Amino acid sequence: MMSRIRSNQVWKKHLPQKPRRVQRGYYTDKKNKQSKTVVRIIWVIFIILSLQSIFHIKYFKVDNINLTGNKDIVLEDIQTSLQDELTVTRFLLFKNDNYWLLKTEPMEEILLANYNLDEVRVTKKFPDTLDVSVKEKISHFIWQKDDALYLLDAKGSLNRQIRALDDKYLIIQDFRARRPEGEIVFNSEEMNIINKLYLAWQDMIADKAKLVKIRLDDNWGLLELHTDIGFYVKVDANEDLKEQVNNLNQVLTAGNITGVDVDYIDIRFGDKVYFK
């Protein structure tokens, strides 16, 4: 019978174990990393505070605006349009009116959207100025509908709303029941009538009386042309406009007529001219 053999190595597990090797620099490295992180945070805070102090210096605050090339637009309108962009907050801490932070491209887009311009250029001038150069689209008329006033170009499109009448422009007083939608106030046929009247008057009557207003409604068979010397003229837009203005020219050439003499002159019936 074989006897069970016991291992002669069991005793080894009772021997003292060899101590594990400890990394001597482990805690030191961890502490150094934490210190570096704290230093970085302090530097970031320092840089932010430094930038904030620089960007808040009043010397670099853009608060002057120069406007050139304008005819109808006034500086106050430009300042109002750009005010929101100048005061908006950048990076949570800084205002956009600082010379170093301010970008001019968004301002150009704002002005193009608010005003009918062919060109606009906004440039920064060190340390606190914006130079705004514009090229406006040409307007010939003021369109007056109820209490609203708009500049109108020769094609019948709105330029922009204005605050008050200006005697540089011919007023088109619109009493039509239909309210135009969008920027097109008059179609091409209607605008052709207005332009013909305007040009014929400038050619034949301007030296005798200034045309200041055209009053119209849904009946284009009767237009009223108001002058600066008191009387107005009745015109039929469906008939030959140049012939009617020529008849008016002959009447005005024949006599010195003022608003004191007559209330209106009716030239809608060929060579027959009526006064009242």
Tell me the torsion sign for CA atoms 8, 11, 15, 21. Answer: positive
The pLDDT value recorded for residue 55 is 53
pLDDT confidence tier of residue 158, bands split at 50, 70 and 90: confident
Q: Is the pTM of this model over 0.75?
A: no
DSSP secondary structure letter of residue 265: E
Instruction: Starting at the earlier edge strand, list the strands of the sheet with 64-68.
Output: 64-68, 129-136, 117-125
The pLDDT value recorded for residue 153 is 83
The per-residue pLDDT for range 238-264, each reduced to its tens digit, is 999 999 999 999 988 887 776 677 899
The pLDDT value recorded for residue 1 is 46
The pLDDT value recorded for residue 40 is 79
Measured in whole angstroms, how far is the alpha carbon of residue 128 from the centre of its chain?
22
The pLDDT value recorded for residue 32 is 66
Weakest-pLDDT range from 42-46, 84-88, 204-208: 42-46
Please give the average per-residue pLDDT across 53-81, as a whole number: 83
Instruction: Please answer whether residues 211 and 170 qualify as being in contact, where contact means their C-beta atoms are separated by less than 8 angstroms.
Output: yes
Closest CA to 85 of 56, 59, 107: 107
Please give the average per-residue pLDDT across 208-214, as a whole number: 94
DSSP secondary structure letter of residue 203: H
Q: Say what percent of the chain tops pLDDT 70.
A: 79
Phi (first) and psi of residue 237, to 5 degrees = -70, -15
The per-residue pLDDT for range 105-121, each reduced to its tens digit, is 999 999 988 887 889 99
Domain architecture of the chain: domains with CATH: 58-136 (3.10.20.310), 141-275 (3.40.50)
Amino acid at 13: K
The mean predicted confidence, pLDDT, of the chain is 83
